[in-house]
Structure 1
């Protein structure tokens, strides 16, 4: 069975977490959500990541995005680990729930398994995976890093903004785009439609092909 990927509906699992039992679809509600997995509690890269995500939490809240961590240890272990996370990143508070998955069942269903890594007992461990899920409960974007590489939370925030703009305006974001910069108009939008949809105007890049497909606007 192929793993969960972009366009798939996230399974409506009921999971244990540091905030009690959570049913995923109920937790998502009408929000966007970022679900991110970690190879284990009390591990160095994960401790830096969870602290950094907590430090950015308000930025995600402003954009209507909930946060949900996951690690393959139990809730008691998570709660002890949170003390380390908050101590390492001064001023951060881990207010988001962290799923407990000691039987590694949730990571399999959410396609967050690292096929090359196993713990000392030979069990599967999570990859450094992250899914951004829309209010329609579908996966919009996935990152999949090996355990050795920590994520860039600025990039996570950037792609959230890109996804939300694309969902709202029929636009896409060009390479290295940052919030506030021009976006490109989707090829599915005709020039006539573009004039109506983007009354602020747009510019078309003059290319050797003379095809007018590269159109920039501000939204």
Structure 2
């Protein structure tokens, strides 16, 4: 999934001023879009522990990279200069125990949602992964709104709701997505003739 070419997201009148590296995939985005849709980025992009925005080298105001948790099960984004100060180069590449490409794709979908682009979700596992990331980066409302388009444009995803209704019910609750919650709840209850 990860490619050497950056994936660029723009907004009308706003060019990219931020580089985000999720594992080996680079995204160029406008920080203002992230600040609008994400409490995480609103709080941490210009926090006092970061270098002043103008002092980052290169063409970008912000450069953020992936930092894998000590146990290798999770990851987060952090300012590149902060990672350089905290971690020695030889120990920087901790092995990630999950599928990196799936994580990159999930983050890409969150960026698409924050830029009001149509999103495509293939199954319950992917939606749960996206919901987890959206929860961490405090982007649940924008993800919930983008999810409404999936119901009308992706019959394959709709067909997976019945078999994964219990799993999706928790995601629907977190996202506060009324349509997904109702659909999952109907399937969790089972048929009227033989309720669960």
TM-score normalized with structure 2 length = 0.29
Give the structure with higher Rg (CA): 1
TM-score normalized with structure 1 length = 0.27
Higher relative contact order (CA 8 A, sep 6+): 1
Report the structure, 1 or 2, having the larger helix content. 2
